[in-house]
């Protein structure tokens, strides 16, 4: 078997005295689509923050595509091919939708130091492609801050995709979406995973989404990995049920 | 680029293509060309001051309106540019106090690069911070530079300032100097416009709107902030270089935070959200100051009240408020 | 470098302590307002200056009624503090509170506008001349040098204010509410306490402290137009060095700045202020949240 595209070993993080990530070992193969689940406060977002360099781990290593990226700042991690969509949409509120995506495209093209090129034409084709892919063409001139919640999440995804990542991290990608929106978004993710061999890791609270779109689950609780396996395995496991008792009905 | 549903006339098309700066810029340009036709030298003189400070304010807005950081030390680069020009000017002028055209132009050319160098050094430290820390660090550096210029008598003539910056005879005519300034400021503005509409300019906007996310696009935040800081400082240096020969002298006060404050006021009055807002702000501020000071000594009270009212009721400045109205009217049309 | 005797050193240290206390009295109100409300009050030194003029007027009035006496300074200061606190309360309710949901630059500009307006108001009401009170206190000889005993009043007042504020914040109910509001506005709000009222009172208190400083300095420094502009920048320096939002930091930083100031006068008289700015720059580069501040809160 080929080496994993992502290999995390012994990851630790403390915030003050709180142990938010406890000795996490985690790996993903290229082309895999997996989910991390766990109750609130389990450390899912923190884990993604650590993977993308937003926090520096206190111990452990993160190796991506054969290179050690532990402790690199976010913009370097992104350049190596990891892209991230946030739980609470983190977009550029005063720019239009197309300007948002365009900025991401131009950043991916490493064109952001071009002082005399035209922003309107550079990467325009790619921007259009992204907008179409995520169903945002109709909204291209809307100021991003005025979008509805679901559209903000789609913009969030478009921006992450514009980075042409090899690993895509999605933090609760369907939060705030209607059932139809959620379905189409996840279908898009499936398609990207299939057609582009895009490795996808997402966190979710909606168990329906998780079971329909993830091939492997990792259950996180209080910063520790409790369980890993296929959805069916995790569903049957007693520990998982206990962790979720009162929160979800598996 | 989309056009408005009921586009009528060149104004609407300019607005659709360039935002509120589109229709306003030709108006300003027309007004600028018309100034020397007004009677006497007073308005030409004021007009030159408007242009120089307008350029200064526009350079400030690169940091504020486009990148989201407020600098209270921006005048340091204005002053450094002014002093560099003044010192070379003094070195190149003849014993009779006259200077040749070539030497005059050379002295102007030295201002912006020296300002750029100062901006590089100071910016290196400032861009590690944001928000209020950035504001205060820029203020501290500005004040430090002020004190260096103030105290280093042997080099800068300290509090006496550098006097006797008399341009060549052709430029002593206020109309000639005015058009010369207009040409330089217009060219500088054109370059700045190009930069703000480039991928770099939009990368700056991402830093303004969501600095964290910008990092997650792969943008090296600090490098971009530093580059912009240097660019802004350079253009401030251009304005400063023009100031010395215009007012015939330079003094340490040009570097202080009060001077930086003027750029902030102008930008606020005209509107930080548009390219040409700060220039409009300069028109209003400078003309208002010239007129008010003719009748009363209470200029601070006047401008203070205006700032207060703008902050409370029209924080987008004049152009920002107009733009909001236009957007609101369009939204109401089906 | 001139020969420095131990006595001269002690004298500089003492001067530094007095200067430090001056900064304490000036900056502690600024620090309090920023710590609780996240507003950097540009007009703090201007309000201090106005208070000085107000104290002078009250003192002059009382002297005319009751005959000249240095002790009249006490009721004069008390009156000024009361008046200015009320003025501060009004300022907060009418103007400042509109800026809470705004960006930092707009908050700064609002308080800066107040600097301009109040500065001219002083000109309008009191004219252009300086105001100063001569208490007729004779210098006393101590350790081979002449010392102005009023300096002890300054030191005493500084310590009293610092101690009083500490007591207020840590031992009184209202003070504890104020501190809680710093950490969590929503929590305090949820407990049924009205945040707007707290902010108004804190702002009034901050202005009151500035007023106290204004009155106390009247015998020492002439109140002159434009002094506020020099002073406010130095107050910022102190608050930055000590750490935004930390009263202890402001206290310690004030003493440090005062001592640095007084010793700079020995070696580099013109550069004392430049020294302070160098320290500010160093602090912001190495440790932006200052000596005692909490790490970079936005």
- What structural domains and CATH numbers belong to chain B? 13-332 (1.10.3470)
Asked if the Cβ–Cβ distance from A90 to B210 is below 8 Å, we say: yes
pTM of the model: 0.91
B330 compared with C281, residue with greater pLDDT: C281
Taking one residue from B and the other from C, the number of pairs with CB-CB distance under 8 angstroms is 105
Structural domain that includes position C110: 6-297
> Rounded to an integer, what distance in angstroms lies between the CA atom of residue A112 and that of residue B215?
12
Interval C233-247 mean pLDDT: 88
Interval C68-87 mean pLDDT: 89
A-chain residue closest to B204, CA distance: A112
Count CB-CB contacts under 10 A for residue A86.
Answer: 23
**In the prediction, which pLDDT does C83 show?**
95
Contact predicate B127/B229, CB 8 Å: yes
Confidence class of residue C297 from pLDDT cuts 50, 70 and 90? Answer: very low
Asked if the Cβ–Cβ distance from A141 to B205 is below 8 Å, we say: no
The CATH number assigned to the domain holding C152 equals 1.10.3470
pLDDT at C196 over 50: yes
With an 8 Å Cβ cutoff, the interface of chain B facing chain A consists of: 1-2, 194-195, 197-203, 205-206, 208-210, 212-221, 223-224, 227, 231
Confidence class of residue C137 from pLDDT cuts 50, 70 and 90? Answer: low
- Residue A198 structure tokens: 């895009």
pLDDT at C89 over 60: yes
Is the residue at C100 inside a domain? yes
pLDDT digits (tens, 9 = 90+) for A118-157: 999 999 999 999 999 888 999 999 999 999 888 898 899 9
Count CB-CB contacts under 10 A for residue C235.
Answer: 27
C72 compared with B273, residue with greater pLDDT: B273
**In the prediction, which pLDDT does A250 show?**
39
- Residue B234 structure tokens: 């350079």
**In the prediction, which pLDDT does B141 show?**
95
Interval A40-45 mean pLDDT: 83
Is the residue at C120 inside a domain? yes
Is the residue at C39 inside a domain? yes
pLDDT at C188 over 80: no
Is the residue at C229 inside a domain? yes
**In the prediction, which pLDDT does B8 show?**
58
Asked if the Cβ–Cβ distance from C296 to B136 is below 8 Å, we say: no
**Chain B closest CA to C114's CA: distance in Å?**
7
Name the residue facing B136 among C102, C105, C284 (closest C-beta). Answer: C284
**In the prediction, which pLDDT does C136 show?**
63
Count CB-CB contacts under 10 A for residue A235.
Answer: 15
> Cα-flanking dihedrals φ and ψ of residue C40, to 5°?
-90, 105
Question: For chain B, which residues score pLDDT lower than 70?
Answer: 1-10, 333-334
Chains A and B touch (3+ CB pairs under 8 A): yes
Confidence class of residue C271 from pLDDT cuts 50, 70 and 90? Answer: confident
Give how far Cα B2 sits from Cα of A17, A155, B16, B323, Å. Answer: 54, 20, 7, 17
Please tell me if residue B148 touches chain C, with a CB cutoff of 8 Å. Answer: yes
Q: What is the DSSP letter of A9?
A: E
Number of domains forming the structure of chain C: 1
**In the prediction, which pLDDT does A1 show?**
61
Q: Are strands A33-37 and C145-147 parallel, antiparallel or unpaired?
A: unpaired
Is the residue at C77 inside a domain? yes
SS3 (DSSP) at C32: helix
* ipTM of the complex in this document: 0.88
Q: Which residue has the tokens 């208190």?
A: C205
pLDDT at A246 over 60: no
> Cα-flanking dihedrals φ and ψ of residue A220, to 5°?
-110, 135
Give how far Cα C283 sits from Cα of B75, C264, C277, Å. Answer: 22, 19, 10
pLDDT digits (tens, 9 = 90+) for A224-233: 888 888 888 8
Count CB-CB contacts under 10 A for residue B172.
Answer: 12
Is the residue at C233 inside a domain? yes
**In the prediction, which pLDDT does A243 show?**
74
**In the prediction, which pLDDT does C2 show?**
56
Per CB-CB distance under 8 Å, the chain C contacts of B311 are 99, 102, 106, 109-110, 113
pLDDT digits (tens, 9 = 90+) for A175-214: 878 888 888 889 989 998 988 889 999 998 888 888 889 9
| pLDDT > 70 in chain A, percent | 97
Per CB-CB distance under 8 Å, the chain B contacts of A106 are 199, 202-203
Q: What is the DSSP letter of A115?
A: S
Per CB-CB distance under 8 Å, the chain C contacts of B209 are none
What residues are paired with A52 via a beta bridge?
A: none
Taking one residue from A and the other from B, the number of pairs with CB-CB distance under 8 angstroms is 107
Is the residue at C1 inside a domain? no
A-chain residue closest to B223, CA distance: A113
B-chain residue closest to C124, CA distance: B298
**In the prediction, which pLDDT does B9 show?**
64
Give how far Cα A130 sits from Cα of A105, A188, B203, Å. Answer: 9, 12, 18
Please tell me if residue C298 touches chain B, with a CB cutoff of 8 Å. Answer: yes
pLDDT at A172 over 70: yes
pLDDT digits (tens, 9 = 90+) for B246-272: 999 999 999 999 999 999 999 999 999
């Amino acid at each position: 078997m080929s080496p994993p595209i992502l290999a995390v070993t012994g990851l630790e993080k403390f915030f003050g005295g709180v142990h938010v990530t406890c000795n996490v070992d985690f790996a993903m193969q290229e082309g895999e689509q997996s989910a991390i689940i766990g109750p609130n406060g389990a450390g899912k977002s923190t884990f993604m923050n650590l993977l993308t360099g937003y926090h520096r781990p206190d111990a452990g290593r993160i190796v991506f595509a054969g290179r050690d990226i532990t402790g690199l700042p976010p913009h370097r991690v992104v350049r190596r091919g990891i892209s991230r969509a946030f739980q609470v949409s983190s977009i550029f509120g005063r720019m239009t939708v197309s300007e948002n995506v365009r900025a991401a495209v131009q950043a991916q093209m490493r064109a952001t130091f071009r002082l005399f090129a035209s922003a309107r034409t550079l990467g325009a084709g790619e921007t259009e492609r992204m907008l179409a892919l995520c169903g945002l063409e109709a909204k291209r001139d809307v100021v991003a801050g005025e979008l509805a919640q679901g559209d903000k999440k789609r913009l969030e995804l478009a921006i992450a995709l514009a980075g042409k990542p090899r690993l895509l991290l999605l933090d609760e990608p369907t939060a705030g979406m209607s059932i139809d929106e959620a379905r189409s978004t996840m279908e898009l993710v499936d398609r990207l995973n299939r057609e582009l061999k895009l490795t996808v890791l997402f966190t979710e609270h909606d168990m329906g989404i998780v079971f329909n779109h993830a091939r492997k689950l990792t259950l996180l609780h209080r910063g520790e990995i409790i369980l890993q396996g296929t959805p069916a395995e995790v569903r049957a496991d007693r520990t998982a049920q206990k962790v979720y008792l009162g929160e979800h009905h598996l | 680029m989309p056009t408005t549903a009921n586009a009528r006339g060149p104004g609407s098309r300019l607005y659709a293509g360039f935002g509120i700066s589109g229709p306003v810029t030709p108006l300003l340009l027309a007004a600028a060309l018309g100034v020397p036709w007004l009677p006497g030298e007073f308005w030409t003189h004021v007009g030159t001051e408007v242009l120089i400070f307008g350029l200064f304010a526009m350079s400030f807005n690169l940091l504020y309106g486009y990148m989201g950081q407020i600098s209270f030390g921006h005048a340091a680069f204005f002053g450094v540019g002014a002093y560099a020009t003044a010192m070379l000017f003094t070195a190149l002028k003849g014993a009779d106090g006259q200077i040749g055209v070539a030497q005059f132009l050379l002295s102007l050319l030295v201002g912006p690069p020296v300002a750029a160098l100062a901006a590089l050094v100071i910016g290196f430290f400032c861009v590690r911070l944001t928000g209020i820390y950035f504001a205060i660090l820029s203020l501290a550096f500005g004040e430090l530079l002020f004190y260096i210029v103030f105290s280093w008598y042997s080099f800068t003539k300290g509090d006496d300032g550098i006097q006797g910056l008399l341009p060549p005879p052709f430029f002593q005519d206020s109309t000639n100097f005015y058009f010369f300034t207009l040409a330089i400021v217009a060219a500088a503005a054109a370059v700045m416009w190009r930069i703000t509409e480039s991928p770099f300019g939009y990368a700056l906007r991402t830093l303004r709107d969501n600095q964290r996310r910008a990092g997650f696009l792969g943008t090296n935040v600090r490098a971009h902030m530093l580059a912009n800081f240097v660019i802004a400082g350079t253009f401030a240096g251009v304005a400063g270089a023009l100031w010395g020969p215009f007012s015939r002298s330079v003094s340490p006060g040009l570097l202080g935070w009060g001077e930086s404050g003027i750029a902030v006021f102008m930008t606020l009055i005209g509107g930080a959200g548009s390219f040409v807002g700060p220039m409009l702000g300069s028109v209003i501020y400078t003309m208002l100051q010239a007129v008010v000071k003719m009748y009363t000594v209470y200029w601070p009270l006047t401008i203070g009240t205006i700032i207060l009212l703008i902050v409370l009721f029209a924080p987008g400045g004049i152009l920002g408020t107009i733009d909001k109205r236009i957007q609101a009217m369009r939204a109401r049309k089906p | 470098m001139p020969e420095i005797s131990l006595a001269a050193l002690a004298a500089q240290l003492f001067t530094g302590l007095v200067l430090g206390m001056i900064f304490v009295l000036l900056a502690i109100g600024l620090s309090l307002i920023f710590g609780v409300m996240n507003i950097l009050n540009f007009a703090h030194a201007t309000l201090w200056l106005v208070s000085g003029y107000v104290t002078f007027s009250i003192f002059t009035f009382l002297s005319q009624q009751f005959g000249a006496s240095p002790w009249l300074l006490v009721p004069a200061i008390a009156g000024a503090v009361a008046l200015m606190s009320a003025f501060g309360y009004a300022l907060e309710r009418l103007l400042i509170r509109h800026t809470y949901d705004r960006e930092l630059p707009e908050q700064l500009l609002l308080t800066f506008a107040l600097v301009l307006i109040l500065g001219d108001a002083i000109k309008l009401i009191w004219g252009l001349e300086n105001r100063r009170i001569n208490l007729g206190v004779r210098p006393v000889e101590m350790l081979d040098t002449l010392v102005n005993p009023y300096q002890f009043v300054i030191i005493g007042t500084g310590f009293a204010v610092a101690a009083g504020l500490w007591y207020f914040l840590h031992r009184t109910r209202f003070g504890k509410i104020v501190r809680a509001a710093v950490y969590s506005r929503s929590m305090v709000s949820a407990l049924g306490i009205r945040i707007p009222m707290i902010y108004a009172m804190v702002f009034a208190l901050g202005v009151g402290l500035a007023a106290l400083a204004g009155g106390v300095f009247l015998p020492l420094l002439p109140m002159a137009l434009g002094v506020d502009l020099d002073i406010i920048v130095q107050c910022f320096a102190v608050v930055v060095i000590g750490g935004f939002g930390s009263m202890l930091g402001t206290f310690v930083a004030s003493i440090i700045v005062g001592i640095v100031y007084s010793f700079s006068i020995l070696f580099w008289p013109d550069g004392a202020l430049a020294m302070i700015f160098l320290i500010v720059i160093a602090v912001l580069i190495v440790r932006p949240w200052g000596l005692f501040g909490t790490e970079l809160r936005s």
